[in-house]
Structure 1
Amino acid sequence: MIRKTTFLITLFAINLTIAQVFYTEDFETDGNGTRYFPEVENIDGQNDFFARVQDADHTANFTDDYLGESGTFYWAGEDHDDPQVGGSGNQELELLINDINISGRTNIFFSALFGGNALSLAYETADYVIVEYRIDNGAWVPGISFLENGNGQLAQDTNADNLGDGFILNGTMEKLEFSISATGSEVDIRIRAASNSSGEEWAIDLIELSEGSTLSNSNVQLNDEVELYRTNRKGVFRVKSSNALIKSIEVFDLSGKLVIEIKLQNTTSEFTINLSKLETSIYVMKINTNHTFFIKKIYKN
């Protein structure tokens, strides 16, 4: 028997958010100088570059190609201080996205696909990938950082102690996200990455900003088309859609790592989501439809 409950699985005061993407950069077309502004854009060979690239002309040292990218092109870097890339001493290079209009928007989320070299001892403590933002030309605020983790890998710094301790960048690009709590007229995004040797590779793709509006958490019905149920099986939830085309379900842990993704081929009926293999924790569930998506924090016990 399925017991219909509120989306609030526990006594945590967690709100439901309906989010809509309002900005996307996927690097499928050249936007240098118009949509985005790199410090340089140069390729001096397969092991030395800071540029918009594709797998067809760029093969990573540690794998044949990146997997999981959106489309064909993405932005990536390796050995930035090569004389024909950034120049001697310029291991840190920046990619800027300026003046994104956020007037009147609240509850803004940043998300992107990230990739890198997961082999041990690939990176040094001086290597990193950091995404920052600023509102109305104010101070830069860190959003997400990937730092060396003591094992020569770049991992997410989840507690701001300047040491990677979370998700490790690897050859399969993963979607991670963070919230932008401040409001204003415009937001700038800055990607700062440091690499001074061959093999210290990183990549970013499908940069998106979305806005969420908070609703009451007292009703299981997400809108007129989508409902969520909790089953009597531990860790198993059920989604029911009457009219909406459900594209996919994504579940993230609190570090922003995508831990489960279910692609549903435009499903318009009931289906179950089994989270029983996940550790007991709070997760973020994202339900993607054909015209919007819904984000909800849930507690899996």
Structure 2
Amino acid sequence: MVMEREYLLAIDIGGTFIKLALVSPTGQLNGKSQVRTPDSLEQFCSIIDRYYELQKNQYNIIGVAISSPGSVTEAGDSLGYSSVPFVHEINLASMFSARYDLPVSIENDANCAALAELWNGEAVQLKTFACIVCGTGVGGAVVINKQLYKGANLHGGEFGYTILSSNLKESSYDTWSELGSSSAITRRLTQEPPYYTNWTGPKVFQQAGNDHDKALASLHTFFHTLAVGIHNIQYILDPEKILIGGGITRQPDFMNQVHSELNNIYAEKPFAKIRPSVSLCQHLDQAQLFGAAYVWLERYRKGERYV
């Protein structure tokens, strides 16, 4: 039994999976579990209930920390649209607080990823940085003077909405998410002739290594878009560092391809003298769990030392 140690029940709500774990105030993670994201709020609550009941007799659970899609308000509502519709149906913070009689926090998933790096990851020594999260869409977050910048409309760091390609004659405007998300890599291969099926991210990288021309072209678009976005962030925010997260960053040679595309930009724009410092996020698929816990600690244990 480890009841004497305190833990937070951390919940990361993703478009494909729900991740669950117990995170201590000193950053220890235990009991990680992953299940497919359900279709309904009722199914979601059943998943969390089962995990909570399993853990509460072994661990001293002091609160619930949630990472969620959407623009999350101070009151805990998740606004906007996402690939997980049920998070917008109810105030999850209020619901779980009443359900378990525990203090609950909730924050946007990309913001959680950035705060995880600030707490005990790649950004510990930084004051100002941006975080790009490449997934089904492109998420992001901005931290200024060690404080999360949410913006006037809770859209600070929503890099996926930025337009990175446009055509005046055709009135077309392509966003970063449409061109440079992980899902865009495979979408291009299934929507353009010759049509390919059953593509996954790892398969695209594998086939690109075999000189598959369409796979190479789709990856080139991805890395080109990412480099343009990094360049723009550097000159809009001028952060100390730009971090990149998401499962795609695990692919071998990822950073070499990023720097290769950045080299192309600075060769064409020699007046741009400030070269961005770019690194990968440290926490990978655990980032939102750590970040959600950090948000809870900042809300309910502000001023205490977490590490």
Q: TM-score range by the shorter chain?
A: under 0.3
Higher strand share: 1
TM-score w.r.t. structure 2 length? 0.26
Q: Which has the larger helix fraction?
A: 2
- Give TM-score scaled by structure 1 length: 0.26
Q: Which has the higher contact order (CA 8 A, sep 6+)?
A: 1
